[in-house]
């Protein structure tokens, strides 16, 4: 698992595996990972991708420094698996970011 895409694939497999444990109830699989705070995910992953999301100018004012491609990738890597149930909010049994 070298990327968030790999994590999504693993989370999908886990969701499907836990869903299969109760064939009488469709779609009741468990999320593999809980992301406790969207802002933490957004900031940490932007930084990991090489963007600091903001910088300070010569006057000491914070300025946005967002990379549109990174924003789109992070959104898709969060939103799509979350809406499918592969990721969930932080919980006691899931790995939490």
Q: Which of these, 65, 68, 97, lies nearest to 82 by C-alpha position?
A: 97
First to last CA, the chain: 15
Q: What pTM does this model have?
A: 0.67
State the pairing for strand pair 62-65/53-56: antiparallel
Segments of 1-97 assigned E as strands: 33-34, 53-56, 62-65, 87-88, 95-96
Q: Residue ranges per domain, the chain? A: 4-96
- Per-residue confidence of the chain (97 residues) as pLDDT tens digits? 567 778 888 999 999 999 999 999 988 999 988 888 888 888 888 888 888 888 899 999 999 888 889 889 888 888 889 899 998 886 555 444 4
Q: Which of 87, 9, 84 is nearest to 41 (CA)?
A: 87
């Amino acid at each position: 698992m070298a990327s968030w895409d790999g994590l999504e694939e693993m989370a999908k497999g886990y969701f499907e595996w836990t869903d299969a444990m109760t064939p009488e109830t469709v779609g009741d699989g468990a999320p593999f990972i809980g992301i406790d705070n969207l802002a933490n995910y957004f900031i940490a992953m932007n930084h990991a991708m090489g963007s600091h999301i903001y910088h300070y100018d010569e006057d000491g004012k914070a300025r946005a420094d967002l990379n549109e491609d990174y924003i789109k990738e992070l959104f898709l890597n969060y939103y799509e698996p979350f809406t499918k149930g592969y990721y969930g909010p932080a919980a006691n049994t899931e790995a939490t970011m």
